[in-house]
Structure 1
């Protein structure tokens, strides 16, 4: 026991020495260039007032769910919201989860079995990697956004294959060649699953909806803690897969349902997005302003996530602190969150950022790299 504690302490001390020890801190005050609140809904007064009005009209929304959805935690609200989401996205059905992590655990730990193969983009979200370990399926990685490498791997497989990608990657801020990957998966009869956590709200309802690919994917995951400013996630799929997940997905079966207020806030979030499309226009304008200043970013020119590689940890920490001292909140990403040698400053742009702040931010970065 004591030896184990020694190992834990040594591992923590090593991180501390390298300047990458993770600690929980109070929420910092400053100009937000680090949160996933791309459209500002998490702090939008008008949206908050709308939710408050709904609660005052129906205080029962705040009641605890009392159990998992298969026991006492199901409600007319959650089923109505699932039907609403499925119709909005033009899928047969939707299944709600308390988080995107839970949703990915459900999909990838449940659908593939030990005779199947899961082929993931090497930069897919950690939740997918964790779920793959639980599935007993063989997991293979293809080079990031490399369609030719994906095809090479698919050619060599027998049996059922699942392919997992994100439409907009949260650390690199680049966009997957979704149409090309759809064509390849069709060619080899593989099941494609797309995580749209960071694309939803930024690109309408996500790239699957924008490109009308609902019938070309097995499932897509939408999360609501980013552009929608609330919490939770949905898996959009067909009725058979939804029923299979309800029957066999441990992270669905054994999780207490969220209360109805969360489900209601998701539906109201959709309606609010529809009525406030200018927020997306303002976000795009701010992304253009940032990109105009020609910082060396590995990210897509249309992405709200802009990553600037700074592989020297001390330089990266110093830049983040310089920005913080000037009132700007950014996020430094170290290994093992990203591959060693690809550490970066991750900047998130929002609809509410001011042009003068974006210009000052880019100038400070230029002076310190």
Structure 2
């Protein structure tokens, strides 16, 4: 057994794509999901510290699952707050977006249903589908015609799974058109807003007022909000069903209350500081004005630069690293072979000088 494992690791090492855990890196951040800089914001950190000093109990464990001893008044209060902020009837909090997606797609669809997923949907959704008895069908990325052709052939109840902003290509879903198709074919649309929340206000569902058309949404807090955790936005029936049938919710110890209060504090913090989102938008424009070829949206903080030559990609990343620019090279199988890329994440705290210096280096390779 160990020999088989080692052979697989050796193959990746030979191909130059072996993943390893590295020590915390220092440098100019163009690779984290800290889009608004809250994870490094000292004012935000101080607010969280004040909460702990006032109530040290926030840091201790919940002592059990939410259905036993872990359902505090704090988590209930924050769920009500989150639901109100997004104009949904209910919210259900989870420790991570991965767990939230596992809960949704493993519990809601049954063996008679079909889950239609964008081929670029996050791995957590694919893993969740393996836990479900439902049939899974992929549609071509952001391809409305392909999606409709699949919907036309279905007789079962259908769920459509998309991201509003895709984490690897940095492009946006045609969410209005997909919502219209879901309505036309009576399908339940589920949207992962992990990378859109905080970048476009509270996300594209809020931006386009699609609460009535989106059956459930996932909001995560480990990116633009700079903390951790996730929420499923839904109606009362779906929330109750998840509480009763979603294994990732039922059979896990609840997080400590500090996680929940940090989420609420984060909402309040970004609401009072619209300049963070505005500065991020300005930095995205500066990057886009350098005319580097990319499949990413012109308003996305994620900018992908396709470099299918692994040696060239590695050389570019190492050159940037030597100049203290922290970027992320994505190799297959994380993306399709031939679409390897340098993934650039822009933030509100990046300076124009940093962006211009980084892009000047990139242009020498592409």
CA apart distance, 1:368: 2.1
Counterpart position of 1:218: 215
CA apart distance, 1:266: 0.1
CA deviations 1:83-105 (Å, max 9, x no partner) are 00000000000000000000000
CA apart distance, 1:219: 0.2
Q: Does 1:201 align with 2:198?
A: yes
**CA distance in 1 between partners of 2:252 and 2:318 (Å):** 39
Counterpart position of 1:320: 317
1:91-110 map, 5 Å: 91-110=88-107
**CA distance in 2 between partners of 1:159 and 1:62 (Å):** 46
SS of the residue 2:308 aligns to? coil
**CA distance in 2 between partners of 1:272 and 1:90 (Å):** 19
**CA distance in 2 between partners of 1:291 and 1:340 (Å):** 26
Counterpart position of 2:240: 243
SS of the residue 1:215 aligns to? coil
Deviation >6 Å, runs of 4+: none
CA apart distance, 1:175: 0.2
1:244-263 map, 5 Å: 244-263=241-260
Counterpart position of 1:152: 149
Counterpart position of 1:19: 16
CA deviations 1:270-300 (Å, max 9, x no partner) are 0001011100000000000000000011100
Pick one of 141, 158, 161 that aligns with 1:161.
Answer: 158
**Unmatched 5+ residue regions in structure 2?**
none
TM-score scaled to structure 1, two decimals? 0.99
SS of the residue 1:303 aligns to? coil
Pick one of 68, 71, 74 that aligns with 2:71.
Answer: 74
CA apart distance, 1:112: 0.3
CA deviations 1:233-287 (Å, max 9, x no partner) are 0000000000000000000001111100000000000000101110000000000
1:1-369 map, 5 Å: 4-369=1-366
**CA distance in 1 between partners of 2:263 and 2:239 (Å):** 19
CA apart distance, 1:29: 0.8
**CA distance in 1 between partners of 2:319 and 2:4 (Å):** 34
CA apart distance, 1:142: 0.4
SS of the residue 1:141 aligns to? strand
**CA distance in 2 between partners of 1:42 and 1:30 (Å):** 15
**Unmatched 5+ residue regions in structure 1?**
none
CA apart distance, 1:55: 1.1
Matched pairs, number: 366
**CA distance in 1 between partners of 2:153 and 2:212 (Å):** 25
**CA distance in 2 between partners of 1:339 and 1:365 (Å):** 22
